Chain A
């Protein structure tokens, strides 16, 4: 005769056995690289799902570093600025904390996380994507968790949440499969946080279409407040802050003008210059010109290649002594911002004259309803 005590024993053994087995798999697979488990070829060496959990990964990864220099921003910086480049030799160890789509609020909180966990931090290089200052965005993206800020380790709650989750198991299984199919596949992120596998399948014009079809936008005071908080944080901790606006291909910049939002560029630059001097790379210059599909220096119209990133850093650290085209990366202060804006208007006029075909191609991407 079946008894309740044997029922309970079977129930508990099945429940505990299956739960612990799955949790152990999740732990040993560690698809999000946050459990500190060794990477093994053909098992978990490369982690394809890491990028989808970058906020989790970088919060933990950064806390395990001991850095002097931090690079921060959104996707342009994430894949475009190599912390291990020659220009930063004297500033090592360096880490790229930029994250795809990171709002300025997230960037400010991750900067706080860096300051709290990196006692030797001396320099922060902040790349500002202008679109973050005029887009209506949520404060933070899925995957952001305030409780991680300032923590050296995962909380017990988060540790349990990750290991006792089917989503982790699924990511783990996909990861093992990918590793077995291609044991020589490299990781999507280098140990210093640089994203190395940017999406080459995105057409060059992908973001142009998006920008040219934007409705009327206005500058976000909230985003500027988040930006100011980053400046204040660095000042309060005696950290040297180097600020720059990230470049995009001229066609991308022109798309913003065609959408009717071009006035935002000048408004934003004026406001930033009133807060802090910065290097302006956004606009019309030799390193933003070129035909559409100019993938040698731009992966797509919005994201510059590492070679451009090296030149950016050289300009940031060496100023006018840098071996960089002279119109690429202009030092802008509150006193000189109008001169810069005038120069840009002139540069745009010249570019428009010489690139009518590009302008027409970009304009044709606009939906009839937007015109």
Chain B
């Protein structure tokens, strides 16, 4: 309200300052020391960007500034995010026992360093307008996207700030924005957060779970990650729309993908585009022949995996997707087309297996889960299904106990009924992500229906009331 009120009085500079202050307050609320780090990072990158722009006629000098800027940004992220990972890796392969630094990871550092690296490269490569510090700061810190993306490009955000239409409150933008925000919040709180303990139960007992439990955990995580991450992105885009700022869409029903190439055009789209434009293409892309292309793909994805987290499972997950992409590109060249359903199934299974690696706390945990998922540790079903499914016995299926909770103790649910509901929930969610429209499509198609308005109003209330839970300690155990 303050934002548009200031616009109404044509106080545009103050409007932007207000938005910047709000964004910095939002970030600083989580950690004040890291706020200073963010501000220092913005200032340094702005100064370097200005230096590159000024010295650009002299390419060599501009390049020196660019390299310095990239090195500074990567050093920052290397120190805060990867220092202990490097130390642990050195300790594990050598006889050293270097003490860990235990550095607290600043919130969103992966996002804002990548955003600014992209800016510096664009300043060097292209003719871009000279931005002032206020616009630049707002571009980096705009609070809806600061914590978890989408990864913004300067030319996606900064021109938006100066559009005349952007200054006026828009009923349409507000309606779309609040609707998408509500759907995103519901995806995160009502779905992703509910799935989280189910996933944890399986992954913390990776060496004990059976076939059914492992698949339940893997599919639950596949859904949890999507609803969590896309929920955040929807909230970010929705909030941006409230301010008449269009942030790029980050997810486009990725589990409908019919190939891995298609998947990466639907999953974390802004990251894929960043990796493509600032890593894959500068490495040579597909311009240096098929072998180079494969190498570039794998290297890009390995680094993309490392960006996600300081751990070998993340790196290997990236490498796995690099391999998938290589195979997909090779397959395309062969000219053989798979039926859509087969393509979709193979893609989905490949992605699910990748997520197991992504979620596992170690390679050993991932390995044992893979073995279980592929039936290597046998298949166990509840004994009360023995009569109906006896034909599975010759295939090696074991029937144990008398109920699902005995045979499958790591499936969430204390009673058979609860278990059935949880399994049914997974099936329904899979159906939803594979066949139903996504949040952006719902918002664009069904607004401004009054029924949808009322439904979303109640949904937002539900989410709000679910957020606040006074903790309880059961006193009747004493």
Enumerate chain A interface residues (CB-CB to B < 8 A): 2-8, 10-15, 17-19, 22, 32, 49, 51-56, 74-75, 99-101, 141-143, 160-162, 164-169, 199
Contact = CB atoms under 8 A, between A and B. Distances in A.
Interface in B12-60: none
12 contacts: A7-B452, A10-B453, A11-B175, A14-B453, A15-B461, A52-B474, A75-B478, A100-B477, A161-B470, A164-B464, A165-B468, A199-B478
Interface in B432-478: 447-450, 452-454, 456-458, 460-462, 464-478
B465 A166 contact: yes
B241 to A, nearest CB: 12
B456 to A, nearest CB: 6
A22 B467 CA distance: 14
A53 B174 contact: no
Contacts of A18: 457-458, 461
A100 B470 CA distance: 18
A4 B447 contact: yes
Contact of A6 (B450, B460, B472, B477): B450
B476 to A, nearest CB: 5
Contacts of B475: 51-52, 54, 75, 99-101
B10 interface: no
Query: Main SS of the interface on chain B?
Result: helix
Contact of B468 (A15, A53, A160): A160
Contacts of A17: 457
Contact of A56 (B448, B450, B464, B470): B470
B174 A4 contact: yes
A74 B475 CA distance: 11
A53 B450 CA distance: 40
A197 to B, nearest CB: 9
A143 B464 CA distance: 20
A160 B478 CA distance: 30
A141 B448 CA distance: 47
Nearest to A197: B476
B465 A52 contact: no
Nearest to A303: B478
Contacts of A10: 450, 453-454, 457
Interface of B: 171-172, 174-175, 178-179, 447-450, 452-454, 456-458, 460-462, 464-478
Contacts of B171: 3-5, 7-8
Contacts of A162: 468, 470
Contact of B457 (A11, A22, A143, A168): A11
B458 A14 contact: yes
A22 B469 CA distance: 14
A22 B461 contact: yes
Contacts of A168: 470
B18 to A, nearest CB: 22
A2 B454 CA distance: 14
A168 B470 CA distance: 8
A312 to B, nearest CB: 19
Contacts of B448: 2-4, 6-7
Contacts of A4: 171-172, 174-175, 447-448
Contact of A7 (B175, B467, B471, B474): B175
Contacts of B172: 4
Contacts of B458: 14-15, 18
A52 B473 contact: yes
A51 B476 contact: yes
B465 A164 contact: yes
B473 A141 contact: yes
B454 A11 contact: yes
Nearest to A169: B465
Given A7-B447, A11-B456, A15-B460, A22 B470 contact: no
Contacts of B179: 11
Given A7-B449, A11-B175, A166-B469, 19 more contacts: A3-B448, A4-B172, A6-B453, A11-B178, A14-B454, A15-B457, A15-B458, A18-B458, A19-B461, A53-B470, A75-B475, A99-B475, A161-B468, A161-B470, A162-B468, A167-B470, A167-B472, A168-B470, A169-B465
Nearest to A163: B468
A13 B460 CA distance: 12
B470 A14 contact: no
The 9 closest A-B pairs by CB, nearest first: A14-B457, A7-B448, A100-B478, A51-B475, A10-B453, A15-B457, A4-B171, A75-B478, A165-B468
A52 B450 contact: no
A3 B172 CA distance: 8
Contacts of B452: 7
A3 B474 CA distance: 50
Nearest to B455: A14
Highest count of chain B CB atoms <10 Å: which of A7, A14, A22, A54:
A7
Nearest to B178: A11
A58 to B, nearest CB: 11
Contact of B175 (A8, A55, A161): A8
Given A162-B468, A165-B465, A2 B478 contact: no
Contacts of B469: 165-167
Nearest to B448: A7
Contact of A8 (B174, B449, B461, B474): B174
Contacts of A99: 475
B181 to A, nearest CB: 11
A190 to B, nearest CB: 15
Contact of A142 (B175, B456, B468, B471): B471
A86 B36 CA distance: 61
B144 to A, nearest CB: 19
A160 B470 CA distance: 10
Nearest to B170: A4
B476 A199 contact: yes
B252 to A, nearest CB: 24
B103 to A, nearest CB: 25
Contacts of B467: 164
A101 B473 contact: yes
Contacts of B470: 32, 53, 56, 143, 161-162, 165, 167-168
A22 B465 contact: yes
A10 B448 CA distance: 10
Contacts of A22: 461, 465
Nearest to A10: B453
Contacts of A199: 476, 478
A156 to B, nearest CB: 13
